[in-house]
Structure 1
Amino acid sequence: MTTTVTALTTLALLALAGCGTESGRGADGAAEAGDAVRTDLPLTDVRWGIDSLSVDGKKTAAPAGASVEIDSKGRASANTGCNSIGAQVTVDGDTVTVGEKEMTLIGCPEELQAFEKALNGAFSGKLTAKIEDKRLTLTTAGGDSIAMSAEQPAPLVGTEWTVSSLLSGETVSSLPTDKKGESGKATLTFGKGGTVSGSLGCNTFSASAKTTDSTITFGPVRSTRKLCPEPGMSLERKLLKALDGKVTYEVHHRELTLKAADGTGFGAVADAPAK
């Protein structure tokens, strides 16, 4: 069953991510503008890939794609490996204070649901930040912690991108799943010679791909012709529709968004680099 995030929820998350929290206090106790981040730590404007999460003494390895990023204006985003969390934060020295949060509501496998619940709880309130050798640890007052490593951005070309969501306008949908809750793994890799190839979730494919700074123009897609059980064929049809002609794309660190003129498309993620 596919779970969607409505346009209203998505816009609320984006609006929240666009509102920096201001630190420092005026005479009336209100935050003063321009001081959302005050720190000598190389903490902000870095994508921190989550290595593990320790809650109540139990350490859990993070799923692929889990990350935290805080910009210099006090906007934070956390990716759980499935859903995204937007938050208002202040950074003062080695103290990170996480304020009000919003979260997307994509349906996730059970193990991811458990991880994102734990991460949502740990990424809250006042946290102490410690950075050593490009590794960041955020620790709560109760001793729970999030261990992270700095990630390098993924280039469009040469990266294997794994499809993670389907897009329709401002609506984000999880991938179709079978009765066991499993979806086909669809991937694509852009080559240096203006090509793209990969898997549609069942059949493999290849095509030409002419890339500019913001658009990709796909040539006719050539693919194998195996008949696949659902939800493989449903996913394949949606991806083939997106890989047709000229589309717009955006790469944000290790996330790729690709959209056709009608607003349909997909999101994909790069595997976290080896640590």
Structure 2
Amino acid sequence: MQKPRTLTAVLTVSALALLTACGTEAGTGPGAGGDPDTPDLPVAGSHWTIAAVTVDGTRSVAPPGARLEIEKNGRARGNTGCNNFGAAVAVNGDTLTVSTHEVTMIGCPADRDRFERALLRAFTGRLTGKLQEEGLTLASSDGRNTLELVTETGASLAGPTWTVDALLTGDTSASLPAGSEGKAKLAFGKDGRLSGSLGCNRVSAPAKITEKTITLGAIAATRMICTGPQMELETKLYEALDGPLTYRVDHRTLTVTDADGQGFTARAETVEG
């Protein structure tokens, strides 16, 4: 399992007081320190693609995969384009107060590392939100730091390309073998057929799909020689795809498990149509 590192956001006394009064629940309604005439931003349960971030007046376009979700329980989670992150969020009128970040520790290429640092710096403290036709902008009080978010559409099982991003054992999620990230991609055609890669070799198989289950027929695969991490991932995925499978699609995240709780999660890259 990825071990989170903690970056402590610098909060003002008023921000701490707000968190103490409201807990971490989003959508708590205007309270002390908020404008009673300003309704809470309707962001609880929202999903966003991160388009760009500006820090100290310098704007950086987000890499593919950067996203943010604000959950109904007052938590935010997302991906910087490299690492997963989480934070506590309190909503009061048009203000979001973001507290401590929790970030996984995957090593990032230099350009993604720079964007990640800028994103985490912009997504902290008290931010004013402004809903627009296709998204949301979050800005610091001085306007020098902003986050540009675009509404993210949901996905269904058939159609998208699913990129495997974690392995599951029961309730435990583990990162992929180092060096195999982004290599395993799967797709289900509208006829139910599975195709893609398990990390190295191309695979295909007939699939019987119901509302909650996937039953694969014989898996056909190429016979390329794989490097260590890719072979390790491929072996684990072959094991996870053996037998009747249970699946769940949560917005753009696919979870697949077998009867023993072995499985994986994957993220929708593209949606057809």
Which residue of structure 1 lines up, in the alignment, with residue 234 of structure 2? Answer: 236
Q: Secondary structure at the match of 1:44?
A: coil
Matched, 1:171 2:177: no
Q: 1:77 to 1:269 in 2, by over 3 A?
A: same
1:260: Cα distance to partner? 2.2
Q: 1:156 to 1:229 in 2, by over 3 A?
A: same
Which residue of structure 2 lines up, in the alignment, with residue 31 of structure 1? Answer: 22
Matched, 1:150 2:151: yes
Correspondent of 1:252 among 250, 253, 263: 250
Within a 5 Å distance, the mapping from 1:200-219 to structure 2 comes to 200-219=198-217
> C-alpha distance in 2, partners of 1:170/1:81?
25
Matched, 1:78 2:104: no
User: 1:219-274 CA deviation, whole Å, 9 max, x = no partner?
Assistant: 22111112223332222111111111112222121111222233322221112679
Within a 5 Å distance, the mapping from 1:54-203 to structure 2 comes to 54-103=54-103, 105-111=104-110, 112-142=112-142, 143-178=144-179, 183=181, 185-203=183-201
Counterpart contact for 2:87–2:102, Cα < 8 Å:
yes
TM-score, normalized by length of structure 1?
0.78
TM-score, normalized by length of structure 2?
0.79
1:64: Cα distance to partner? 2.2
Q: 1:167 to 1:126 in 2, by over 3 A?
A: same
Q: Secondary structure at the match of 1:107?
A: coil
Counterpart contact for 2:158–2:192, Cα < 8 Å:
no
Q: Any stretches of 5+ residues in structure 2 without a counterpart?
A: 5-15, 30-38
Q: Any stretches of 5+ residues in structure 1 without a counterpart?
A: 10-22
Q: 1:34 to 1:174 in 2, by over 3 A?
A: closer
Q: 1:272 to 1:120 in 2, by over 3 A?
A: farther
1:53: Cα distance to partner? 1.3
Aligned-residue CA RMSD in angstroms? 3.0
Query: Hey, which bits of structure 1, 4+ residues long, moved more than 4 A?
Result: 32-35
User: 1:16-70 CA deviation, whole Å, 9 max, x = no partner?
Assistant: xxxxxxx997xxx733898744335443322111011111222222222222222
> C-alpha distance in 1, partners of 2:232/2:24?
49
Q: Secondary structure at the match of 1:81?
A: coil
Counterpart contact for 1:65–1:270, Cα < 8 Å:
no
Counterpart code for 1:193: D
Counterpart contact for 1:36–1:89, Cα < 8 Å:
no
> C-alpha distance in 1, partners of 2:108/2:117?
12
Q: Which stretch shows the higher mean deviation, 65-74 or 29-38?
A: 29-38
1:85: Cα distance to partner? 2.7
User: 1:107-164 CA deviation, whole Å, 9 max, x = no partner?
Assistant: 2423444433332222111001112212211111242111110011011111111112
Q: Secondary structure at the match of 2:239?
A: helix
1:101: Cα distance to partner? 3.9
